[in-house]
Protein backbone atom coordinates (compact mmCIF):
# COMPACT_ATOMS: atom_id res chain seq x y z
CA UNK A 1 0.00 0.00 0.00
CA UNK A 2 1.63 3.24 -1.15
CA UNK A 3 0.96 5.34 1.97
CA UNK A 4 1.79 2.59 4.49
CA UNK A 5 4.99 3.23 6.46
CA UNK A 6 5.62 -0.47 7.11
CA UNK A 7 5.16 -1.28 3.39
CA UNK A 8 7.80 1.35 2.63
CA UNK A 9 10.14 -0.09 5.28
CA UNK A 10 9.57 -3.69 4.12
CA UNK A 11 10.20 -2.65 0.49
CA UNK A 12 13.51 -1.09 1.51
CA UNK A 13 12.37 2.42 0.55
CA UNK A 14 13.51 3.96 3.85
CA UNK A 15 16.87 2.17 4.10
CA UNK A 16 15.87 0.67 7.45
CA UNK A 17 18.38 -1.74 8.91
CA UNK A 18 16.86 -5.21 9.14
CA UNK A 19 17.73 -7.38 12.11
CA UNK A 20 16.35 -10.32 10.13
CA UNK A 21 14.80 -10.83 6.71
CA UNK A 22 13.46 -13.70 4.65
CA UNK A 23 11.09 -14.01 1.67
CA UNK A 24 8.03 -13.24 3.82
CA UNK A 25 8.99 -10.92 6.66
CA UNK A 26 11.37 -8.22 7.78
CA UNK A 27 12.34 -7.58 11.40
CA UNK A 28 13.65 -4.20 12.48
CA UNK A 29 14.05 -2.10 15.63
CA UNK A 30 11.07 -0.19 16.98
CA UNK A 31 11.53 3.58 16.77
CA UNK A 32 10.36 4.01 20.39
CA UNK A 33 11.71 0.99 22.25
CA UNK A 34 10.09 -0.01 25.54
CA UNK A 35 12.91 -2.40 26.49
CA UNK A 36 16.56 -3.02 25.52
CA UNK A 37 15.22 -5.21 22.72
CA UNK A 38 12.07 -4.03 20.97
CA UNK A 39 11.76 -5.44 17.48
CA UNK A 40 8.91 -5.50 14.99
CA UNK A 41 8.24 -8.51 12.76
CA UNK A 42 6.38 -7.26 9.70
CA UNK A 43 5.15 -9.17 6.63
CA UNK A 44 6.30 -7.96 3.23
CA UNK A 45 2.71 -8.05 1.97
CA UNK A 46 0.19 -5.56 3.31
CA UNK A 47 -2.37 -6.96 5.77
CA UNK A 48 -4.09 -4.36 7.91
CA UNK A 49 -4.35 -6.30 11.17
CA UNK A 50 -4.69 -9.76 12.68
CA UNK A 51 -8.43 -9.48 12.08
CA UNK A 52 -7.76 -9.35 8.32
CA UNK A 53 -5.05 -12.05 8.25
CA UNK A 54 -6.42 -15.09 6.37
CA UNK A 55 -3.28 -16.52 4.78
CA UNK A 56 -2.28 -19.53 6.91
CA UNK A 57 1.15 -19.71 5.30
CA UNK A 58 1.78 -16.10 6.29
CA UNK A 59 0.54 -16.77 9.83
CA UNK A 60 3.18 -19.45 10.15
CA UNK A 61 5.86 -17.33 8.51
CA UNK A 62 5.25 -14.47 10.97
CA UNK A 63 5.85 -16.80 13.90
CA UNK A 64 8.87 -18.32 12.21
CA UNK A 65 10.22 -14.79 11.64
CA UNK A 66 9.73 -13.93 15.31
CA UNK A 67 11.59 -17.04 16.42
CA UNK A 68 14.41 -16.60 13.92
CA UNK A 69 14.93 -12.92 14.80
CA UNK A 70 14.92 -13.62 18.54
CA UNK A 71 17.43 -16.40 18.06
CA UNK A 72 19.61 -14.21 15.85
CA UNK A 73 19.89 -11.45 18.47
CA UNK A 74 20.32 -13.97 21.29
CA UNK A 75 16.98 -13.39 23.02
CA UNK A 76 15.77 -16.43 24.92
CA UNK A 77 13.13 -14.71 27.06
CA UNK A 78 10.83 -12.28 25.33
CA UNK A 79 7.25 -11.12 24.98
CA UNK A 80 5.34 -11.04 21.70
CA UNK A 81 2.41 -8.70 21.25
CA UNK A 82 0.03 -8.00 18.40
CA UNK A 83 -2.21 -4.99 18.94
CA UNK A 84 -5.37 -5.36 16.89
CA UNK A 85 -7.49 -2.25 16.39
CA UNK A 86 -7.19 1.31 17.61
CA UNK A 87 -8.74 0.67 21.02
CA UNK A 88 -6.17 -2.06 21.66
CA UNK A 89 -3.31 0.29 20.85
CA UNK A 90 -2.69 -0.44 17.18
CA UNK A 91 -1.24 2.70 15.61
CA UNK A 92 0.27 1.29 12.40
CA UNK A 93 -2.32 -0.56 10.35
CA UNK A 94 0.01 -3.11 8.81
CA UNK A 95 0.09 -6.21 10.99
CA UNK A 96 3.20 -6.66 13.11
CA UNK A 97 4.47 -8.64 16.06
CA UNK A 98 6.25 -6.68 18.76
CA UNK A 99 9.19 -8.69 20.15
CA UNK A 100 10.15 -7.23 23.52
CA UNK A 101 12.90 -8.38 25.86
CA UNK A 102 16.24 -7.75 27.48
CA UNK A 103 14.80 -6.83 30.88
CA UNK A 104 12.41 -8.45 33.38
CA UNK A 105 8.84 -7.96 32.18
CA UNK A 106 5.89 -7.87 34.53
CA UNK A 107 2.62 -9.54 33.68
CA UNK A 108 -0.02 -8.24 33.34
CA UNK A 109 1.23 -4.87 32.09
CA UNK A 110 4.74 -3.46 32.13
Q: What is the binding site for ligand AMP (CB under 6 A)?
A: 5, 30-32, 40, 83, 89-92
H or E stretch covering 9: helix 5-10
Choosing from 38, 94, 96, 98, the catalytic residue is 96
Is 66 strand, coil or helix? helix
Q: Which CB, 5 or 7, lies closer to ligand AMP?
A: 5
Taking the least distance from each CB to ligand AMP, the nearer of 27 and 58 is 27
The yes-or-no answer on residue 38 being catalytic is no
> In angstroms, rounded to a whole number, what is the distance separating the alpha carbons of residues 48 and 46?
6
Count Cβ atoms within 10 A of the Cβ of residue 23 and give its class: 0-12 exposed, 13-18 middle, 19 or more buried: exposed
Closest separation in Å from C-beta 8 to ligand AMP: 8
Tell me which residues are annotated as active site: 96
Amino acid sequence: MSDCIFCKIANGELNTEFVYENDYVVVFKDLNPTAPYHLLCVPKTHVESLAELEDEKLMAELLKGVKAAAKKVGLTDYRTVINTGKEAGQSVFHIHFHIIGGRPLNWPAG
